[in-house]
């Protein structure tokens, strides 16, 4: 109950910020529409709607990192967290309270992207539902990254690191905007050692109904999600004790 | 009767001794001020007493409960209004109060009753639907104190509650703090000499983590051989009076 009160507050803070709504929901839609328009004029395999949409749904999650990191960093900066540390809220309440509200927002973002994609010509199949379900572990990965950044950086630093650096990294290294084979070499190796392209490939396989194709990407996604979550919890607890 | 007993409390950060062997006691219902220049150890003392920071050595007992061994029990009888306003800026005044009721596990009826009581006591009724982030500094401080009073604390820590406020807002807040005197034990830190002299039953002056003197404003002035409290403070901190 205490945790739910805290989680509800976090949901309100995130959804009441018009910039959050624009970047979280509006920006991915603009990207799908724009790239689909480009695809209609100059056909590129990468931007075909069934390949593009899973990529955009994953890229859109980088804003979830920004949301979670910003709210934690702001709460630390304003001393609201300090106030709440003197209440009966437990460390588990804090971790869940910051994590859980963002999962439905991530799902909503994914659903809206698929609805737009359907309008733009994506075939309606049950695989879309599976793709939405598989977005959950990926969203936990991105939220954990936000929890980690919010526990370490100030809200201004978070804006630069999560808002600029991370969104760009997750874009370049995900294979959404260009085929990683075109660059190859070390760039490709680094990309495949990170979870972003793994998450995109997993979502693409799910949408195509190629469930054997989700391997080994799912292990990378789950591995990173668990590792980042553990690290985020440890860093959050460390700043809590400071 | 004693509300707080501090016994040889010490806090070290690597080579820096922030609070050095502090011992003092505060009576129930007393308004007790901690004074000192920047880095004197006031905020660290409050952080240790409110279980936000662990002491390096020594102990303190709040209504008989040890901050070292029984921090959960201590947290159940205290509240903190930190130096920063520590409000949820995206929530309304009413929602901020609801948040605090929720994290303390109040029922809906108790929540409604408590919000009614505190909005009347602190004059927040007219702005209950206004977003906290849109309030002036003075009103945010009022809200901050209301949030601290939600849990009906036996001991209330006010860390520089009038910092940055204009003369009128400060005067209003003094009236509010006066109205709480006797009902709850208040530990106040401030840089404003007039504030400490006007409001406090007793004052402790700290320097470099050490307690220099602890007495009433009148006695401190007498010991410092001056009628002006600010001058008394300067004499004591500069070591003119031993």
At A121-177, the pLDDT tens digits run 999 999 999 999 999 999 999 999 999 999 999 999 998 888 888 889 988 999 998
Q: Mean pLDDT lowest for which of A157-171, B104-118, B185-199?
A: A157-171
Q: Do you find a cis peptide bond into A216, omega within 30 degrees of 0?
A: yes
Q: Which residues of B touch A (CB under 8 A)?
A: 50-54, 72, 75-76, 78-91, 95, 98-100, 102-105, 147-148, 151
**Band of the pLDDT at B45, cuts 50, 70, 90?**
very high
- Token pair of A159, please? 């804006």
Comparing CB atoms, the residue among B50, B75, B85 nearest residue A88 is B75
| Residue A69 · residue A162 · CB < 8 Å | yes
- Tens of pLDDT, residue by residue over B123-145, are 899 999 999 999 998 899 899 99
Which residue of B lies nearest to A83 if distances are taken between CA atoms? Answer: B80
With an 8 Å Cβ cutoff, is A80 touching chain B?
yes
Which residue of B lies nearest to A5 if distances are taken between CA atoms? Answer: B102
d(CA B209, CA B40): 5
* pLDDT score, position B241: 64
Residue A13 to chain B, least CA–CA distance (Å): 5
* pLDDT score, position A20: 85
Which chain B residues are within 8 Å of A98, Cβ to Cβ? none
d(CA A175, CA A142): 17
* pLDDT score, position A67: 93
| Residues with pLDDT less than 50, chain A | none
With an 8 Å Cβ cutoff, is A124 touching chain B?
no
| Residue B155 · residue B63 · CB < 8 Å | yes
- Spatial neighbors of B189 by CB under 8 A, at least 6 apart, are B33, B34, B35, B42, B43, B46, B158, B159, B160
d(CA A144, CA A222): 12
* pLDDT score, position B242: 59
- How would you classify residue B164: left for phi > 0, otherwise alpha for psi between -120 and 50, otherwise beta? left
Give the dihedral sign, CA B33/B37/B41/B43: positive
d(CA B37, CA A224): 47
| Residue A173 · residue A190 · CB < 8 Å | yes
Closest to B29 (Cα-Cα) out of B186, B185, B158: B185
């Amino acid at each position: 109950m205490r945790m739910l009160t805290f989680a509800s507050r976090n949901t309100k803070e995130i959804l009441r910020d018009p910039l959050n709504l624009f970047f979280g929901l509006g920006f991915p839609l603009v990207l799908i529409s724009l790239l689909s328009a480009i695809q209609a004029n100059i056909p590129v395999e990468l931007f075909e709607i069934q390949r593009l949409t899973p990529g955009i749904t994953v890229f859109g999650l980088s804003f979830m990192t920004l949301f979670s990191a910003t709210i934690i960093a702001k709460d630390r900066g304003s001393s609201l967290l300090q106030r709440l540390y003197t209440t009966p809220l437990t460390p588990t309440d804090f971790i869940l309270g910051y994590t859980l509200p963002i999962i439905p927002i991530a799902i909503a973002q994914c659903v809206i992207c698929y609805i737009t994609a359907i309008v733009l010509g994506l075939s309606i199949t049950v695989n879309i539902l599976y793709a939405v379900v598989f977005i959950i572990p990926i969203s936990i990965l991105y939220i954990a990254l936000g929890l980690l950044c919010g526990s370490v950086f100030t809200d201004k630093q978070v804006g630069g690191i999560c808002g600029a650096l991370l969104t760009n990294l997750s874009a370049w290294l995900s294979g959404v905007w260009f085929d990683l084979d075109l660059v190859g070499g070390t760039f490709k190796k680094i990309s495949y050692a990170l979870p972003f392209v793994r998450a995109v490939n997993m979502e693409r396989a799910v949408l195509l109904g190629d469930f054997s194709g989700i391997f080994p990407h799912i292990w990378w996604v789950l591995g990173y999600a668990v590792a980042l979550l553990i690290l985020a919890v440890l860093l959050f607890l460390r700043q809590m004790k400071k | 009767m004693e509300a707080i007993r501090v016994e040889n409390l010490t806090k070290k950060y690597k080579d820096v001794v922030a609070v050095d062997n502090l011992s003092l006691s505060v009576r129930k219902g007393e308004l007790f001020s901690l004074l000192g220049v920047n880095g004197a150890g006031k905020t660290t003392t409050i952080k240790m007493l409110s279980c936000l920071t662990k002491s390096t050595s020594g102990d303190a007992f709040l209504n008989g409960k040890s901050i070292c061994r029984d921090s959960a029990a201590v947290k159940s009888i205290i509240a903190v209004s930190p130096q920063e306003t520590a409000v949820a800026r995206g929530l309304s005044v009413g929602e901020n109060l609801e948040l605090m009721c929720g994290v303390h596990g109040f029922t809906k009826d108790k929540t409604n009753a408590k919000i009614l009581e505190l909005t009347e006591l602190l004059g927040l009724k007219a702005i209950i639907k206004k977003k906290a982030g849109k309030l002036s500094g003075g009103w945010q401080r009022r809200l901050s104190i209301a949030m601290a009073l939600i849990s009906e604390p036996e001991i209330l820590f006010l860390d520089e509650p009038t910092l940055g406020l204009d003369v009128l807002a400060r005067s209003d807040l003094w009236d509010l703090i006066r109205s709480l005197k006797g009902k709850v034990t208040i530990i106040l830190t401030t840089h404003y000499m007039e504030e400490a002299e006007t409001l406090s039953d007793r004052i402790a002056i700290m320097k470099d983590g050490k307690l220099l003197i602890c007495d009433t404003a009148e006695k401190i002035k007498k010991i410092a051989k001056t009628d002006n409290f600010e001058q008394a403070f300067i004499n004591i901190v500069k070591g003119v009076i031993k």
